[in-house]
Amino acid sequence: MTAANLKLTILGSGTSTGVPVLGCHCPVCRSPEPRNNRTRCSALFEWSGHKVLIDTATDFRQQALREGIEQVDSVLYTHAHADHVHGIDDLRTFTLVTGRAIPVYAAPGVIDRLHGLFSYIFSDIDAPGYRPRLQVNEVTGPFELFGQQVIPVPLVHGPGESLGYRVGNLAYVVDCSAIPETSWGLLQGLEVLVIDALRFRGHESHFSVSEAIEVAERLRVPRTLLTHLTHDIDCQRDVAGLPAGVEFAYDGQTLSLPLPAM
């Protein structure tokens, strides 16, 4: 029997504005290099034929069209900032086709925020066809999903918080400005780390490139993808400054790794 694989697709590698930034004419925003074109931050995990979205970013519909996503089996929310949730309405199309609610997972505080931001989804005012059908699950610790353990990783996100997610030896860690001491143990033995690395200068709610690299080095991760990138980062100009094993993520990037047997 062959071991199951986990496939990662970077749906969006950009910060909350996306890149190009509206109204900006800097060299990165005008760059013809496709990897400098960044939709809002999101990813797709796939295992055992199931597609699990990490967040429903503002650009989710375009990301789904680009990657040929025709089913969504679950959504794991990191937090409820606009760039990570505003694509939620486009889940409606999938639930219309299948007639089934999509299981979504989020921390209790994030579920409260989603109720406030998208009250039409959670009330009976609109007919079912006009809102996504979601089956909401509170994340309070590790849980099993489609035969794999999903480990939530509590993160500090400026004055707020967010959840990273680990499946097998892949961890997806956005948006974050610090990793609590109690979360480091959840990130040991990784093969791949995808981590928030906003820009070169510091920011109160996000790791900078150098801070993200420090995390990767402390964890001794063989391969690290920096994501949630602003227009300060030119993927061609700046790649020379990255240590071995660290790269800038880009929209459409994929990788696969074997999953440990459960």
Residue 70 has which token pair? 């025709």
Would you say 61 or 113 has its CB closer to Zn ion?
113
Which residues have C-beta within 8 Å of that of residue 153, sequence separation ≥ 6? 163, 164, 165, 166, 171, 173, 179, 183, 186, 187
Q: Minimal distance in Å, beta carbon 196 to Zn ion?
A: 8
| Closest approach of Zn ion to the CB of residue 48, in Å | 29
Residue 130 CB, shortest distance to Zn ion, in Å, is: 27
Interface residues toward Zn ion, by CB under 5 A: 21, 24, 26, 29, 81, 83, 175, 231
- Token output for 151: 């480990």
CA distance linking residue 252 with residue 11, whole number of Å = 6
Q: Which residues pair with 51 in a beta bridge?
A: 46
At closest approach, how far in Å is the CB of 186 from Zn ion? Answer: 20
Task: Say how far residue 136 (Cα) sits from the centre of its chain.
Answer: 18
**How many Cα atoms sit within 13 Å of 61 on the Cβ side?**
9
